[in-house]
Chains A and B, each alone.
Chain A
Amino acid sequence: MRYARPATAAEAVTLLGQQAGIVRVLGGGTDLLVQMRSGMIEPDLVVDIKHIPGINEIRAEAGGFRVGAAVSGAALGDHAGVCALWPGVAEGFQLIGSTQVQGRATMAGNLCNASPAGDAVPALVAAEAVARIEGPEGARDCPVAAIPAGPGRTTLKKGEFISSILLPARPERASDAYLRFIPRTEMDIAVASCAVSLVLDSAGTITVARVALGAVAPTVVLVEAGASALVGSKAGVPALAALAAAASAACAPIDDKRGTIEFRTEVAGVLARRAAETAYARAGGRK
C-alpha cells in the first residue's frame, strides 16, 4: 500500500485517477481503517485529502455554509453558525460514534462509505445539501441524495472525490431534526432513523417539508408523501399520523440482528413523527 498526501485537489484527482487497483480517499479514516484492519479491503493507494487547502474549513456561502470534506464532527459541533442554522444536520453527524470517532469522522466519509445506516446522510438529504465533487473533468456539484448507490457503493466516478458539502441558506422560521433508534444510548448503528427539515410561515403553517429515512432501505429514502402530509399543517395529530404512515410505507428494510422488518418499519414512522415535532418546535412553531 502507498500513502499519499496531496497538497492540492488537482494532485488528489491525478493520484486517484491514475492508480490502478484499489484506491481510497482517506478522510477521518474511521471507516477505512476499520475495513483495512479487518482485511475487508487492502488498498493499493490511500489518498489523504486533509492537507488540501480549505478542506478543513467551514465557510459562510450565500447565506449557508460550505463545509470542507475533512471537517470532523467535533469541529462542526464547535461551529455555532452551522449548529444554529442546521441543528438536525449537526445532531445527525454528531451522533456518529464516540468523542474519539467525532475527532476524526467526516460527513463526506459517512456519505461515501455508503452504509444504509449512515447517520449524517438523512439530514443532509433533508437539507438538500449539495456536494462539490472534484474530478478529472474539473469540479461539479451534485445533490447529496444522488451520491449513495447502494450499500458500500456511490455514484462517484474514478478519480473523483468530494471536497466540500454546501448546506444551503434557510429562511426565517425553518429548522430540522434527526432521530435514530439504537438499542444502546451511544456507540451503535441505527436500526432506523429519520431526518425532517421544515420551513414555516409566520402563522406556523408548514410551507416546505423534507423527510428522509435511514437504515430502512439500501440507500437513504426521501419520503415525498410524508412531506406532503406535513405541508399546510401545523404539525397537528392528523398530519403527524399521516407522516408516520407515509414513512412506514416508504420502508424496504432488511431483517437482521439489529431489527426485524416489522420493527424497523414501525419505528421509522414513530421517529418521523417525533423528528417532525422537534423540527417544528425548533423552527418556532407552536401548536
Chain B
Amino acid sequence: MKSLQVSTTINGDAAEFLCAPDETLLDVLRNRLGLTGAKEGCGTGDCGACSVMLNGRLVCSCLVLGAEAEGAEIATIEGLAEGDVLHPLQQAFIDHAALQCGVCTPGILVAAKALLDRDPDPSDEALRYWLAGNLCRCTGYDKIIAAVQAAAAEMRGARDVA
C-alpha cells in the first residue's frame, strides 16, 4: 500500500503527514501526529470518544480517512483551551465533576462545544440528543448535562458583558 501525503490544518496550525490510504484520521492524529486526546472507544462511530471537528462539522474521526483531511480544517480537543486558560466547558467539567475516568471527556467536550457554537442556549433535551453519540460509562450523564449548561450560561454571560 502506497502512503499518501496529506496537507491539512489542525487547530489552526498547518500539518503534513504520510498515511496509508485506509488509515483513519483518528489513527493519524494519534499515531502519526501525537495528538492522543481523541480516543478510540469503538472505531465504529458508536461511542464518540474520537470526536473532532472537520470543516466545521462534528464527526467521528474513526470514520474519516486520513486522506480525506487533505486541505481540510480540523479541530481537536488539544485546541480547545487557549494557552493555559481552559475553555469554560473544560472548567465546568472539572467544577461539576462531569468526568470520572475521563476517557470519554475529550470527545464530549468537542461535541458540546460544537453545539454551543451553534446554539448558545440549548434545552436539556436538545443537549441530550446532541450528545447521544457520546457514550460515557462512568458518570451517568446528568453531571455532563449540568456542566455543559453551566458553561453555556457562563459563556452567555461573558458574551453579554463583552
Contact = CB atoms under 8 A, between A and B. Distances in A.
Interface in A78-133: 97-101, 103-104
B21 A100 contact: no
A46 interface: yes
A137 interface: no
B132 A187 contact: yes
Contacts of B67: 3, 5, 48
Interface residues of B, number: 33
A29 B63 CA distance: 6
A29 B57 contact: no
A115 B57 CA distance: 25
Contacts of A50: 68
A34 B21 contact: no
A225 interface: no
Interface stretch (B7-15, B39-47, B80-88, B140-148): B39-47
Nearest to A29: B63
Contact of B65 (A3, A72, A187): A3
A89 to B, nearest CB: 19
A35 B134 CA distance: 21
Contacts of A29: 63-65, 68
Contact of B111 (A5, A37, A99): A99
Contact of A185 (B43, B130, B132, B134): B132
A202 interface: no
Contact of A74 (B22, B48, B57, B133): B57
A100 B68 contact: no
Interface string B80-117: 00000000000000000000000000000001001100
Contacts of B131: 99
A1 B20 CA distance: 9
B59 interface: yes
A30 B63 contact: yes
Interface in A8-52: 26, 28-30, 33-34, 36-38, 46, 48, 50
User: Max chain A CB contacts within 10 Å: which of B51, B60, B63, B129?
Assistant: B63
B136 to A, nearest CB: 13
A103 B44 CA distance: 15
Interface of A: 1-3, 5, 26, 28-30, 33-34, 36-38, 46, 48, 50, 72, 74-75, 97-101, 103-104, 185-187
Interface of B: 1-2, 4, 21-22, 24, 43-46, 48, 51, 54, 57-60, 62-65, 67-68, 70, 111, 114-115, 129-134
Task: Name the 4 nearest CB pairs between A and B, nearest first.
Answer: A98-B133, A186-B132, A103-B57, A3-B21
